A and B are shown apart, each in its own frame.
Chain A
Amino acid sequence: MKQLLFIHSKAPHGSINAQEGLDAMLMGSAFAECTGLFIGDGILQLLDRQDTTGSGQKNFSKTFAVLGDYGVDNIYCSQSQLSARGLGLADLVIKVKPVSDAEIRQVLARADSILNF
């Protein structure tokens, strides 16, 4: 089975990239083995207890919880960039595997195709 890697690197809500990246990953899970990698401000998509009422945007962060049901179990997050934002794994809405920069290179190398969001 082909390995698709979805890289999420944009903050949620400021642009539609985050929401459509999640949609694409859910769709992809029906056809291929999908892996998610959250880097940079993309990590903020995973923040627990988001409240978007003030911004008028849809709070799609609850949807991350269904990734497991869709068979997307490999969700990685840059450890250094998580720490750089003053965050820890307990701040996130789902369980992710923290990875070092060297491990990120391995995740990239394992993918047959990479979709950037």
Chain B
Amino acid sequence: MKFAIAVYGAPFSHQAPLSALAFARAVLAEGHELLRIFFYHDGVYNGNANAAPPQDEPDIRGMWSEFALESGVEMIVCVASALRRGMLDETEADRYEKSSTTLDPAFTISGLGQLIDAGINADRLVTFGN
């Protein structure tokens, strides 16, 4: 079966990201296909490259990054949500003349159409957080 995941919850404030990641791993472990993970609302903070959590807490951004590297699953952050919240890749930081990039390169900035596409092309779109 073809799955897609939407993450609306911020890391550390909400259980949603960790549950989504566990679900994503389970989807692949069971031999299913994972089309995409889409981060919307506060979910875009999952890609915050500058997060520096205490050592005895999960490094959620790092876990996503590792997951993307291992699995090759694309991780998309909504451009409108990301820009509002200062989650910028190099292109956007240049465009808006901001001094630093904040988005981990494992994440890609794209449009809301990617969420709609997930709803259309996946057999199941599973949402975490809201």
A: which residues have CB within 8 A of B?
2, 4, 16-17, 20, 23-24, 27-28, 30-32, 112-117
* Contact between chains at A32 and B127 (CB < 8 Å): no
Contacts of A116 in B (CB 8 A): 127, 130
Is there contact, CB below 8 Å, between A4 and B41?
A: no
Of all chain A residues, the one with the shortest Cβ separation from B124 is: A113
CB-CB < 8 A to B112: which residues of A?
A: 23-24, 27
Chain B residues near A28: list those with CB within 8 A: 116, 119
- B130 and A31 form a contact (CB under 8 A): no
Number of B residues whose C-beta is below 8 Å from A? 17
How far, in angstroms, from A112 to B127 measured CA to CA in the complex? 15
With contact pairs A2-B120, A4-B120, A115-B127 given, residues A20 and B81 touching in the complex (Cβ less than 8 Å): yes
Q: In this assembly, does B58 line the interface, its C-beta being within 8 Å of a C-beta of chain A?
A: no
Contact B116 A31 (CB under 8 A): yes
Nearest-CB distance from A116 to chain B (Å)?
6
With A23-B112, A27-B112 known as contacts, the answer to whether A4 contacts B130 (CB < 8 A) is no
Inter-chain CA distance A28–B114, complex, in Å, is 10
Other A-B pairs, 20, CB within 8 Å; known A23-B112, A32-B119: A2-B119, A2-B120, A4-B119, A17-B41, A17-B130, A20-B41, A24-B112, A27-B116, A28-B119, A30-B113, A30-B116, A31-B116, A112-B119, A113-B119, A113-B120, A113-B122, A115-B115, A115-B119, A115-B127, A117-B130
Residues of chain A within 8 A of B6, CB atoms compared:
115
**A32 pairs with B116, CB closer than 8 A:** yes
Q: Complex Cα distance A27/B112, Å? A: 7
Cα A113 to Cα B40 with chains together (Å): 17
